[in-house]
Each structure stands twice: as structure tokens, then as C-alpha cells.
Amino acid sequence: MTDLSREDAAFHYYEPARGHGLPHDPFKAIVAPRPIGWISSCDAEGRVNLAPYSFFNAFHDRPPIIAFGSSGRKDSLTNIEATGEFVASMATRPLAEAMNATSASVAPEVDEFALSGLTPAPCRQVRPPRVAESPAAMECRLLHISHLHDLDGRPLDAWMVIGQVVGVHIARAFLKDGLFDTGAAQPIMRAGYLDQYVAATPDSIFRMRRPR
């Protein structure tokens, strides 16, 4: 049997439904660092949107499948519902300020590429552009949009967008001996609370073989 008095002394425990009892919710700081999905999309009229999403990751490799979560019905979600296409460009340390600028809440007709000084580059399989300055980008077609619900079946103001990667762009400068140099690309990730980020660098990457 667990010695709860000992655990209480060493760990702060809480049930999310009852509140965390801390100055700020620690959930995003625990599930960290999280890759940033820098998502570009087009509406039905061809107007472009670019926005970062911190709930983002890969979920399969053959075929490659990625997903991001949208808290609220953002323009990206509406656009992807209408067109079935999007692009995920890598957000990096040199592009951090530009990425941050694209997180602004602006009207649908505002072009975030122009707002942030970024260059839209054409894709081959989908209509939305990729970020030309980014070292890597993935063209995606929509597989599924899931409206999230809680344990009681109540619908949340949150959606998961799942897409299959149908085209990949990699800047040749970041290919070394046929391998993508993640450290050199310096992808940035959310590291917790509102203003905390972390970057992968050559010095932060270590190697460890998996057991056979």
C-alpha cells in the first residue's frame, strides 16, 4: 500500500477537475517542450492564413501523419474544413519573432505573411503556400477533424486536425550526408507558460541507442 503521507510531502498532487492550487496551471509546463505547428491554409476564396499551434506533433510515419489542436474555431480550422489542405512549416530560432507575429488575433482578410515580413513559397501538391524562410515544410491533405469531448461527453471548444503529409520541402543547406540536421535548423518549442520557449541546437542533441 502506498504511503500517502510520504508522497504528500514529496509531490504536489491535484485533480484537474478540482483545480491545481498553484499560481498558474502547470499542464503545459509538464507536457513540454512541444513542437510548434506553423500552419498555413487558404480559405475557399484563396486568402492565405498563417498561424502557430503549440499542440502539434507527428503520429505515424508510413504514411507520415501529423496533427494539431485548435482551441476555439480559428481561421486555420475553418479554412481546412473548407479546402482539405494545409502546410506545416518548421518554426526556428531565427524565425521566432516572425512566428510570434503570426500569432496575433487579426481579421481573416489580414495576410500574416505580409504582417510578419515572411515570404510565401508555392507548394506542389496543395494550394496553401509554405514559409520560404523555413528550413523544412510539409504539405498535408486532411484526413479527419475531431471535435473533442470530455469524459462526460460534453463537447469542448476544441478540435484536432489530422492530416497526411503528401509533400516535403527541405532546404539543401540543412542536409548533411543525406540526414536532416535538426540541430542546425534550431527548431523552437513551447516550454511551458505563455512566454517560455526552448530551441534545439547542436549542443543540446545527444545520442542513445535503443535496445534491440
56: closest CA among 38, 72, 40? 38
Q: DSSP class of residue 107?
A: -
Q: DSSP class of residue 92?
A: B
Tell me the average pLDDT across 129-155.
98
- Tell me what the pLDDT averaged over the chain comes to: 95
Max Cα separation, the chain? 62
Q: Show the domain range for 195.
A: 35-200
Cα distance between residue 147 and residue 145, in whole Å = 7
Q: Bridge partners of 187?
A: 92
Structural domain contains residue 24: no
Summarize pLDDT for 22-74 with one digit per residue, the tens: 999 999 999 999 999 999 999 999 999 999 999 999 999 999 999 999 999 99
Cα distance between residue 14 and residue 2, in whole Å = 17
The CATH number linked to 62 is: 2.30.110.10
- For residue 198, pLDDT beyond 50: yes
**The predicted structure's pLDDT at residue 39:** 98
Give the three cell numbers for residue 142.
Answer: 486532411
Structural domain contains residue 209: no
Structural domain contains residue 191: yes
Structural domain contains residue 153: yes
The torsion angles phi and psi of 86, rounded to 5 degrees, stand at: -165, 170
Residue position matching grid coordinates 523552437: 188
- Total number of domains constituting the chain: 1
**The predicted structure's pLDDT at residue 5:** 67
